[in-house]
Structure formats: C-alpha cells, structure tokens
Amino acid sequence: MQDQSARIKIAVQKSGRLTEHSMDLLSRCGLSYSRGRDQLICYGENMPIDVLLVRDDDIPRLVQEDVCDLGIVGINVTEEARLDFAANGVANLFERVNELDFGHCRLSFGIPASVEFQDARSLEGLRIATSYPRIVEDYLRRKNVNASVVEFSGAVEIAPSLGKADLICDLVSSGGTMRAHQLEEVETILESRAALIQTPVKLAEEKATWVQRLLQRVEGVQQVRESKYIMLHAPRSALDSIRALLPGSEAPTIMPLDGRDDIVAMHAVCRENIFWETLEDLKDAGASSILVLPVEKMLA
Ligand code: ATP
Ligand code: ZN
C-alpha cells in the first residue's frame, strides 16, 4: 500500500467557472488522472498528485488547515477568507504563490437608478448586499464610511428590487448580469483572477520536490501561452533598433550568415504575443525573412 501522506493534494473547484481552466492547467503540467467513483477525487496516474474537487469557498480553509497542500481559487475568495480569519483572531497562514491567467473578474458596486453615487462617501447610511461582507467592510473602514452590509450567499443582484438593500457589491466580468437587473456598475473595490495558494506547513523532502516541480511547470505553462519564438535576418547596423522592438525578449542569439558580413540571423524567445504591427515595424527597421513560431514547452 502506497503512503497516502506522501501524495500532494490540490483543492480545485468541483463545478463552476474555475473548474475547466484549473483541470486544463494541471493537464498541461503533464498530469494525467482518473476520476474516483465518488467524483470527489481525481487520482494522478503519472505523478504523486491527487486533485480534491470541492466548493471554491472551502479551498482557503482546506489549504490553511493543511488538508490540502495546494489550492486553485479566486483572489476574491482568498481575500475574503484572509479578512475573515483575521476578524476571528486566526492568523492567515496560506500563501499565494502564483497568479494565474484565468478567472478574471472584479468586485464592484452596482446601483439602481434611485441611488446617486459620486464616491465612497455617497454610501453613507446605505445598505449594501454582498457575498463578500469582509472585503466590503474593510473597504468601508478604509474610506471611513458608515454603511450596513447585508450578507447574501447568492442572487445578490435581486436584493435591491426585493427591498433588502439599496445597492449591491458583486463580482462582474462582462457586466451583463448587473445591466440585466438595471444596476449600474460604479466602482471596483477588488480586481481578481485565479491564484495558486500553498499550505504554510513545511513539506517532507520528496513532497517538497514535487511541489517545486509543479510550481515550475505552472510558471512554464503560463509563459508559454503568450510566448513566441522569432527568427529573422537583420543588418548588423540595425541590431539594436530591432532588439528594442521585440516584446519581452531576453538576450537573443545572433548567428553569422554564410558569405554575408553585413547581415546576421537573430533568434529570440518573446514572452509576449507578436502582432502584425510588430512584424511591420521590424521590417521597416531592416529585418527580413521573419518567422514567428509558437513555443510548446518552456523551463526557465
Ligand atoms: P461554488 O459552488 O464552488 O461555491 P460559486 O458559485 O461560488 O461556486 P462560480 O460562480 O463558479 O462560484 O465562480 C467561481 C469563481 O470564478 C469566482 O469566485 C471568481 O473568482 C471567478 N469569476 C470570474 N468571473 C466571474 C463572474 N462574472 N462572476 C462570478 N465569479 C467569477
Ligand atoms: Zn462559492
């Protein structure tokens, strides 16, 4: 029987907006897995890593209490948990190790036509419905405003029409939900995206090595999504101006071209996407034979 404590446990949202992106990220890190019969655990087949599928709100606590070593969850949820732990005298122990490139949203105030909003002071004396009471209270405290926070666990946007609140503070990505409920988005109090969080507990050596390896792969996957490999020919005299046009590139490789002293080949990895405008600028700067290739894997 394998030692279960030697396996890394990652908490991922069971079913929701982060689920598919999180599982896709782990697959891109090379993890293949089979789903347990109860559908609550995915067992890693080629790495000592298992994925626990849970509600996103439970993820900070599972990592804080070392039930899971890692978790993938929105910063909105980690911030709310951090402030909630603090309010209850519990030190925040989980660490945010990596921000991820999905789950982008923002926590914003949405007001009905009856409310006038100029700045935070306009909220004085009003009732705000939200699923993020700690974050909203923290904001009000920092702005020195007295308003009451009404906690709603879902369907926050109907609170004003039910007469339960004057306005809401809720997550927005496109803004469609607020508009559909005749609410105007007026101010953002938190920008969020998914993040990878880690337990504070010191891991046994073998486990720590795997966590390190996984974090490095996560980093690599994130970089690769945008990165491009570019090859071109450049006059020696234009090398500096051409380099300056390449977005996010480190020292490029310069190679001589057979029989030509004035022209060299330049190869570089760019950590950002390369758009047509950049290619046109490169050509104007003297580059020719420009090729842009996708990067499949990267290990810094
Ligand atoms: P659970 O059942 O796991 O508690 P949930 O209903 O709380 O699910 P989802 O709506 O699936 O959660 O959202 C999960 C996370 O996705 C949010 O906490 C947030 O970080 C992110 N997110 C991105 N865009 C949005 C959006 N427009 N609305 C809500 N959450 C968003
Ligand atoms: Zn949730």
- The CATH number that applies at residue 246 is 3.30.70.120
Q: Is 252 in the pocket of ligand 1 (CB under 6 A)?
A: no
Which pLDDT band, with edges at 50, 70 and 90, does 92 fall under?
A: confident
Give the per-residue SS3 of 197-264. Answer: EECCCCCCHHHHHHHHHHHHHHHHHHHHHHCEEEEEEEEHHHHHHHHHHCCCECCCEEEEECCEEEEE
User: 124: which 2 tokens?
Assistant: 């004085």
Q: Is 165 in the pocket of ligand 1 (CB under 6 A)?
A: no
Q: 135 or 224, which is more confident?
A: 135
- Give the pLDDT score at 2: 60
Q: Which residue has the CA at smallest separation from atom 8 of ligand 1?
A: 16
- Give the pLDDT score at 145: 98
The answer to whether residue 241 sits within a structural domain is: yes
Determine the distance separating the centroid of ligand 2 and the alpha carbon of 22, expressed in angstroms: 15
Q: Which residue has the CA at smallest separation from atom 13 of ligand 1?
A: 17
- Give the pLDDT score at 1: 52
Q: Which helix (H) or strand (E) holds 26?
A: helix 19-28
Residue at which a domain ends, from 202, 224, 246: 224
Tell whether 201 and 267 lie within a shared domain.
Answer: no
Domain containing 51: what range? 4-102+194-224
Residue type, 225: R
Tell whether 198 and 50 lie within a shared domain.
Answer: yes
Tell whether 54 and 73 lie within a shared domain.
Answer: yes
Ligand nearest to the CA of 80: 1
> Residue 102 — φ and ψ, nearest 5°?
-150, 175
Label residue 286 left, alpha or beta by phi (over 0 means left) and psi (-120 to 50 means alpha). left
Instruction: Indicate the number of domains in the chain.
Output: 3
The answer to whether residue 260 sits within a structural domain is: yes
In ligand 1, the atom with minimum distance to the C-alpha of 192 is 20
Tell whether 80 and 9 lie within a shared domain.
Answer: yes
| Cα 22–chain centre separation | 10
pTM for this model (two decimals): 0.87
In ligand 1, the atom with minimum distance to the C-alpha of 56 is 3
Summary mean pLDDT of the chain: 93
The answer to whether residue 85 sits within a structural domain is: yes
The answer to whether residue 278 sits within a structural domain is: yes
- Give the pLDDT score at 287: 97
The answer to whether residue 300 sits within a structural domain is: no
Determine the distance separating the centroid of ligand 2 and the alpha carbon of 112, expressed in angstroms: 25
Q: Is 283 in the pocket of ligand 1 (CB under 6 A)?
A: no
Q: What is the CATH number of the domain that holds 113?
A: 3.40.190.10
Kindly state the average pLDDT of the residues 199-216: 92
Tell whether 94 and 203 lie within a shared domain.
Answer: yes
The answer to whether residue 256 sits within a structural domain is: yes
Tell whether 94 and 209 lie within a shared domain.
Answer: yes
Tell whether 91 and 208 lie within a shared domain.
Answer: yes
The answer to whether residue 299 sits within a structural domain is: no
The arrangement of strands across the sheet holding 260-270 comes to: 253-257, 260-270, 228-235, 288-294
Q: Is 222 in the pocket of ligand 1 (CB under 6 A)?
A: no
Tell whether 289 and 160 lie within a shared domain.
Answer: no
- Give the pLDDT score at 163: 95
Q: Is 236 in the pocket of ligand 1 (CB under 6 A)?
A: no
Which pLDDT band, with edges at 50, 70 and 90, does 274 fall under?
A: confident
- Only one residue has tokens 């914003």, namely 108
The answer to whether residue 10 sits within a structural domain is: yes
- pLDDT tens figures, 21-48: 999 999 999 999 998 777 899 999 999 9
Q: 275 or 162, which is more confident?
A: 162
Tell whether 71 and 154 lie within a shared domain.
Answer: no
Tell whether 148 and 267 lie within a shared domain.
Answer: no
Label residue 125 left, alpha or beta by phi (over 0 means left) and psi (-120 to 50 means alpha). left
- pLDDT tens figures, 113-166: 999 999 999 999 999 999 999 999 999 999 999 999 999 998 999 999 999 999
- pLDDT tens figures, 99-109: 999 999 999 99
User: 80: which 2 tokens?
Assistant: 């709310």
End-to-end CA distance of the chain: 36
Tell whether 97 and 218 lie within a shared domain.
Answer: yes
Q: Which residue has the CA at smallest separation from atom 28 of ligand 1?
A: 171
Q: Is 99 in the pocket of ligand 1 (CB under 6 A)?
A: no
Residue at which a domain ends, from 175, 192, 209: 192
Residue 171 · residue 110 · CB < 8 Å: no
- Only one residue has tokens 């090729």, namely 291
Tell whether 124 and 146 lie within a shared domain.
Answer: yes
Q: Is 195 in the pocket of ligand 1 (CB under 6 A)?
A: no
Q: Which residue has the CA at smallest separation from atom 11 of ligand 1?
A: 16
Q: Is 18 in the pocket of ligand 1 (CB under 6 A)?
A: yes
